[in-house]
Amino acid sequence: MLLIPCPFCGDRDETEFAYGGDAGTERPADPGAATDEAWTDYLCFHDNPKGPHREFWFHRDGCRRWLTVERDTHTHELGAVRLSRP
């Protein structure tokens, strides 16, 4: 079980968080202008690397901030943890 250093709350157990998936893709600013293919890409296709991964975690049972976390998917080593909204 991970120990995630929340910038607000300190080191907290993973059970207090909700996983929010890949933080590496950005929502198209104008979805209407996106082709079907580009939109499907955004919706469905995400990298699933073995190694460093940037992802969202939500401190659901804490400060209710969305965090952007760097995590190695192989070793679970955590890198930078910051607020998604600066």
Partner 1 sequence: MRRQPFRAAEGGHLIDRSEPLRFDFDGHRQEGYRGDSLASGLLAAGVRIVARSFKYHRPRGVWGFGSEEPGAMVATGVREEVRPNLKATEIELADGLMAFGQNAWPSVAWDLGAAVGMAGNVLPAGFYYKTFMWPPRWWLALYEPVLRRMAGFGPAPSAPDGAFYAKRRMHADVLVAGGGPAGVAAALAAARAGAKVVLADENVRFGGGLLRAPGEIGESDGLAWIDAAIGELEAMANVRLLRRATVTGYYDHNLLLVAERAGGDAAPGTPETRLWFVRAREAVIAAGAHERPLLFAGNDRPGVMSASAAGGYAHAYGVLAGQRAVIAGNNDSIYAVARLLRGAGVSIAAVADARAESGARDLPCRPGRTVERALGSRRVRGALLRRTDGRAGDRSERIACDLVAVAGGWSPAVHLHTQARGSLSYDEERGLVLPDRPGGANRSAGAAAGRFDLDGCLAEGWAAGVAAAAASGHERPAGEPPRSPDRVAGDAPVFWRIGAGKQFVDLQYDVTAADVELAAREGYRSVEHVKRYTALGMGTDQGKTSGMAGLVLLSEAIGRPVARTGTTTFRPPYTPVPMAAMAAGLIGEGRDALRRTAADDWHEARGAVFTAAGLWRRPSYYPREGMDEEEAISAEVREVRAGVGIVDVGTLGKVDVQGRDAAAFLDLVYANRISTLKAGRGRYGLMLREDGRVFDDGVVMRLGENHFYLTTTTAQHHAAMQHMEFLLQTVWPELEVYATDVSEHWFAAALAGPGSRALLGEVAPGLDVSDEAFPMMAVRAATVAGLSALVFRMSYSGELSYEIAAPADHGLALWTRLLTAGREHGLTPYGTEAMGVMRIEKGHVTHAEADGRTTPDDLGLGRMVNAGRRSIGRRSLDLPALCRKGRQQLVGLAVIDPEARIPPGCQVAERDDMRPAAPLGHVTSFCYSPTLGRAIALALVENGRSRIGQTVYVASPVTGLAMAAEIVPPVFYDAEGTRLRG
- From Zn ion, partner 1, none, interface partner of 30 (C-beta below 5 to 8 A by class): partner 1
Residue 59's Cβ-count burial label (10 Å; 0-12, 13-18, 19+) is buried
Q: Of the candidates 10, 18, 79, 80, which one interacts with partner 1 according to CB under 8 A?
A: 18
Q: Where are the alpha helices (DSSP H) in the chain?
A: 36-44
- Cβ 60 to partner 1 shortest distance, Å: 7
- From partner 1, Zn ion, none, interface partner of 22 (C-beta below 5 to 8 A by class): none
Under rule CB under 8 A, residue 80 binds partner 1: no
* Cα–Cα distance, 86 to 65 (Å, whole number): 11
